[in-house]
Structure 1
Amino acid sequence: MAATLELAERSPSDDSLPTTPVHEGRPAPASAARRRARRAASLVVCLGMWQLAVHWRLTLGIVTFANVPAPSDVVPALWALLHSPKLPMHLFASLLRVLIGFCAAAVVGVGLGLAIGRYRMLEDTLLPPLEILRPIPAVAWIPLAILMFPSSELSMMFITFIGALFPILLNTVHGVEAVDPRLVATARSLGTRGLSLYTEIILPGAAPAIFTGLSIGMGTAWFCLVTAEMIAGQYGIGYFTWESYTLQNYADIVVGMMLIGALGMGSSMLIKRLGTALTPWYRLRETHR
């Protein structure tokens, strides 16, 4: 109590107080610029090493770069694809499949995760079969997807759904279980019950973990896209990549891989930014490295 009174009696002009505001979790502009420069430099170095490895036909035991396309081969192929009239159709087909599969996985994963995380009976009855299904790779679902759905489009959306579901589900469960029980007990003592308990306590407390799961799930959905578009189809970035392999257009394979990686990274970052904006009560404190 005495320490509290002592702090309250200090004047704002006390020399012990900081004279400049401190923005926790926000690096200074110069520091942010240096980080961006380091990241750009790392990409340039990786591309340079890739070019040199192909140029010198580097062989590292069981790994060889003798037949790998170099960046100097990939850039013209990327330029050609960017000017191809099929690119918008490829992008639209892939974006639609990933978006529908991801949205369905988000609804099911978050809904089940909120229920399983709160009720032990549901955890005991629903989580074991889900845990058995979780390690099954997406490619193993292709035969069943073809048998279960009347169209190839629905089958491809199902594969992306399966890929995104489990990261979202498990992160939601862990987020709900990590909510401080004292918050729940306090809310109940104040009369909060039922749906209000979820919307006012459980969901805000688990929201950071949920958005982490959504971000990972979006990346996994793109990861499963090539597998999904192996089923059938005439358009899609995954289909373009697989077709390039069958036609031995090796530079186009790398182009398709780069597009999937860029789209997956961009969409995951978008969800992460959205989660940061929607959870102002939660900020990760960055440490200086």
Structure 2
Amino acid sequence: MDALTSSPFDPAALRRLGRLLLRVLSVLACVAAWQWASTRHADLGLLTFQNVPAPGEVLEAARALLESPRLEQHLKASVWRVFAGFAAAAAAGIALGLVIGRSRLLEDLLLPPLEVLRPIPAVAWIPLAILMFPSSEMSMVYITFIGALFPILLNTIHGVEGVDPRLVASARSLGAGRWTIFTEVILPAAAPSIVTGLSIGMGTAWFCLVTAEMISGQFGIGYYTWASYTIQNYPEIVVGMLFIGVIGMGSSVLVRKIGNLFLPWYLMQRTKR
């Protein structure tokens, strides 16, 4: 029976293989559409591919970057900036989200100014970041911090506010104190939402990378992308975009996987549904 369950023809394994195949096909379909539009210089009215490089040109530019000694410097600079900003945003966003979600007084005091800051795009922070921080490095970390902060903050608040009041009432009726309720009821119940916010925040930090590295003038994948735009090197622009997309996606998946290690009960509930 165990041999049958672990066989490659197991229905669950076939479903996973089918989903993986579907995802690969969706990517290949997008690349095929890109190849067709760029080689034919398609003009679709509102959308034109007159100057968009073909996948082959982008692949050649990617090969040149991979062989370049500057790639390691670009990656190290960008990864440091993103993860430093993300770590600070995770600490601040989770702490603020937990206290705002549990206290109406702190919600009234802290949430309004945060909501005013939330819609401001990352690029608008560049002049103020340069003025506030003595080094360009700290300015870039700050912009990735701002990008990651609000998804983490809002998901944490919603997770805390979404805790079933009956769970809190039951814990109180059993004699649990505030700290016990917080650590054993509120935090575990809000944890899935917090992990989601962390995953989104990591992606948003990478999203802000080009904006952050416009301040720089030397290294970083975002800087590489921006510098390629200024000299109109179109294949390298796409290479930089794809690097940011792939690394950002991988970082978000990594954060989600690590977060899920602390949520075994939640994963079991999802599996049963």
Same structural fold, with TM-score higher than 0.5 when normalized by the shorter chain: yes
Amino acid at match of 1:226: V
- Separation in 1 of the partners of 2:136 and 2:26? 40
Whose Rg is larger?
A: 1
Aligned to 2:8: none
1:218 matches 2:235: no
1:208 matches 2:178: no
CA contact (8 A) 1:152 1:233 kept: no
Larger mean Cα displacement after TM superposition, 100-109 or 27-36: 27-36
Aligned to 1:167: 151
- Separation in 2 of the partners of 1:65 and 1:221? 29
SS in 2 for 1:234: coil
Aligned to 1:247: 231
Deviation string, structure 1 residues 179-208 (Cα, Å, up to 9, x no partner): 111111222222322333221111100000
* Counterpart mapping for 1:30-109 below 5 A: 30-109=14-93
- Separation in 1 of the partners of 2:233 and 2:80? 26
- Separation in 2 of the partners of 1:144 and 1:192? 47
Aligned to 1:7: none
Deviation at 1:286, TM superposition (A): 7.0
Aligned to 1:12: none
1:131 matches 2:78: no
Deviation at 1:125, TM superposition (A): 1.1
Deviation at 1:133, TM superposition (A): 0.5
Q: 1:261 to 1:95 in 2, by over 3 A?
A: same
- Separation in 1 of the partners of 2:272 and 2:63? 40
Q: Which consecutive unaligned segments of at least 5 residues does structure 2 have?
A: 6-10
1:232 matches 2:216: yes
Q: What is the CA RMSD across the aligned residues, in angstroms? A: 1.7
Q: 1:278 to 1:287 in 2, by over 3 A?
A: closer
* Counterpart mapping for 1:181-192 below 5 A: 181-192=165-176
- Separation in 2 of the partners of 1:136 and 1:119? 26
Larger mean Cα displacement after TM superposition, 180-189 or 34-43: 180-189
- Separation in 2 of the partners of 1:267 and 1:185? 38
Amino acid at match of 2:86: F
SS in 2 for 1:281: helix
Deviation at 1:64, TM superposition (A): 0.9
Percent identity, aligned pairs only? 64
Aligned residues: 264
Aligned to 2:142: 158
- Separation in 2 of the partners of 1:225 and 1:232? 11
Q: Which has the higher helix share?
A: 2
Aligned to 1:193: 177
- Separation in 2 of the partners of 1:195 and 1:223? 37
Q: Which consecutive unaligned segments of at least 5 residues does structure 1 have?
A: 1-19, 22-26
Amino acid at match of 1:223: F
Deviation string, structure 1 residues 90-143 (Cα, Å, up to 9, x no partner): 000000000000000000000000000000111111111111110000000111
SS in 2 for 1:59: coil
- Separation in 1 of the partners of 2:262 and 2:19? 25
Amino acid at match of 1:81: L
Amino acid at match of 1:127: L
